[in-house]
Amino acid sequence: MKSFNYPRAVQAALIGIAIIGSVTGARADLKDYEFQLVDQTVRKGDAIISVRLVHKPDGKSVPDAVIFATRLDMAPDGMQEMATRIAPMPSTEPGIYKFKATLSMAGGWQLSLGAKVQGETGTVENKLVLKATP
């Protein structure tokens, strides 16, 4: 007959709890992420638009997201069909994403973004409004 080893059983239970907790508690909600404009206004013409991806609960910037959907149009001024091309640019700051666009008119422009955050399932999507000035 074997005797019960109480300290070994407690150790095994704690290891099991730690493994289960690390698997289920690591995920955040996609609603905890948002894009924010670095500058609310840009000059009409060739413009550089910078956005920051933020993890809202701690306010930290999120580097290395994969941005796969971009659109820039004049929806805030009722002209959704007035869209322009937008191209990603390199950034020197982690969590800051830059885009180059030609803004043909002064007024309100809407930047629509879709991104994948590493370690999360689903897509972060935001629509940001900026103003182009003459």
Tell me how far the alpha carbon of residue 51 is from its chain's centroid. 9
Task: Provide the pLDDT for residue 28.
Answer: 64
DSSP the chain: -PPP-HHHHHHHHHHHHHHHHHHHSS---GGGEEEEES-SEEESEEEEEEEEEEETTTTEE--S-EEEEEEEEEGGGTEEEEEE-EEEE--SSTTEEEEEEEE-SSEEEEEEEEEE-TT--S-EEEEEEEEEE-
Task: Provide the pLDDT for residue 97.
Answer: 98
Backbone phi, psi, residue 99, to 5°: -135, 145
pTM: 0.77
Task: Provide the pLDDT for residue 5.
Answer: 59
Question: Options 2.60.40.10, 3.30.360.10, 3.10.20.880, 3.40.50.300; which CATH number does 30-133 get?
Answer: 2.60.40.10
- Residue ranges per domain, the chain? 30-133
Task: Provide the pLDDT for residue 82.
Answer: 96
Ranges of residues in the chain whose predicted pLDDT is under 70: 1-28
Task: Provide the pLDDT for residue 7.
Answer: 56
* Beta bridge partner(s), residue 124: 115
* Beta bridge partner(s), residue 50: 98
Task: Provide the pLDDT for residue 76.
Answer: 97
